[in-house]
Amino acid sequence: MDKISALMDGELDERQSRQLFSRLKQDQELLQCWRTFHLIGDALRGERALSDDFDRRLGSRLLSEPTVLAPRRSTARHITAYALSAAASLSAVAWVGWVAFSGNPLVPQSPIAQAPSTPNTPRPVTSPPPTQMTSIPSDGRMNEYLIAHQEFSPSTAIQGVAPYIRGVSDTQMVTGRQ
């Protein structure tokens, strides 16, 4: 009886459940215990009890119903669905790549054509003036200002959390220092 209660509570594993169900099919006393436990559970939940011959009437009705044979599903439909979903995925990846790399100002653009230089003309070698990057310490007021006016930034077209994960720093170019 303890195993029937454990089965009803879902505490038995699959192997034990199969064994108990096979015993229920053979042992009428165990089957009556199963029915009694279910009747007690129905009464505790306040559910209405079915008539005694409900099982027999339902079984006879199910036997009298015609068997409907449905045609097999076409495998061509599955193949088409997988092919179309793969094509859609590839086109989405291509579109994202195109959008990401087409107008990115951070990617240096190489010149398409350059004027040919004459081989005998020496080019002057110039070096750029030395520059130094320095950080200006922030007391937090700049962050408050940027957060308050973030809705007017062109970067707010990005939806979700992305606009909020950017760090804020301030750098100033200083020329002529060594």
If one compares 32 and 163, the residue with the highest pLDDT of the two is 32
Among 26-30, 32-36, 52-56, 128-132, the minimum mean pLDDT is found in 128-132
Residues 4-19: what's their mean pLDDT? 88
pLDDT of residue 109: 58
Which residue ranges make up each domain of the chain?
Answer: 2-64
For the chain, how big is the Rg over CA atoms in Å? 39
- Cα(122)–Cα(108) distance, integer angstroms: 27
If one compares 124 and 32, the residue with the highest pLDDT of the two is 32
- Cα(158)–Cα(152) distance, integer angstroms: 13
Token readout for 91 is: 């086109």
pLDDT of residue 99: 80
pLDDT band for 173, please (50, 70, 90 cuts).
low
> DSSP secondary-structure letter at 119?
T
Element (H, E) at 40: helix 28-45
pLDDT band for 164, please (50, 70, 90 cuts).
low
What CATH number was assigned to the domain covering residues 2-64? 1.10.10
Using alpha carbons, select from 175, 169, 176, 178 the residue that is nearest to residue 135: 169
Element (H, E) at 146: helix 141-148
Tens of pLDDT along 69-91?
Answer: 887 777 777 888 889 999 999 99
- Cα(149)–Cα(155) distance, integer angstroms: 12
Using alpha carbons, select from 134, 136, 132 the residue that is nearest to residue 178: 132
pLDDT of residue 103: 65
pLDDT cut 90: percent of the chain above it: 9
pLDDT cut 70: percent of the chain above it: 62
